[in-house]
Amino acid sequence: MSANCAGIVGGQLFRSDDLPFYHRGWSIAVAFMAFGVACVITLIALYAAANARLRRSGVVRESDEPVEKTGGAQDDVPQRKLYNY
């Protein structure tokens, strides 16, 4: 369905009055790509900050190994895994 809509968008971005280099269309395409890269960089920074916060709090489980119950107060603390990016 969305592939059919690409013709509508493409016809508005890459107009015949911009021939032969289509400055308008390529500028908009580059702007969307730059926005996507900025979103990825922001998510990586947010995940790194969240992982650092989890490591400082001490409730992080670094591996998939099952946690042994010792009967102490530490057993009541919920274990969390780090965010992957």
- At 6 the pLDDT is 83
**DSSP assignment string, 4-51:** HHHHHHHHHHS-GGGTTT-HHHHHHHHHHHHHHHHHHHHHHHHHHHHH
Tell me how far apart the terminal alpha carbons of the chain are, to the nearest angstrom. Answer: 30
- At 64 the pLDDT is 60
Q: How many independent structural domains does the chain possess? A: 1
Q: Tell me the pLDDT tens digit for each residue of 31-40.
A: 999 999 999 9
Q: Residue 78 domain-assigned?
A: no
Q: Residue 80 domain-assigned?
A: no
Q: Residue 69 domain-assigned?
A: no
Q: How far apart are CA 61 and CA 59, in angstroms?
A: 7
Domain range enclosing 48: 2-61
Q: Residue 47 domain-assigned?
A: yes
Q: Residue 76 domain-assigned?
A: no
Q: Tell me the pLDDT tens digit for each residue of 49-82.
A: 998 998 888 777 666 666 566 665 555 556 677 8
Q: Residue 19 domain-assigned?
A: yes
Q: Which residue has the higher pLDDT, 85 or 44?
A: 44
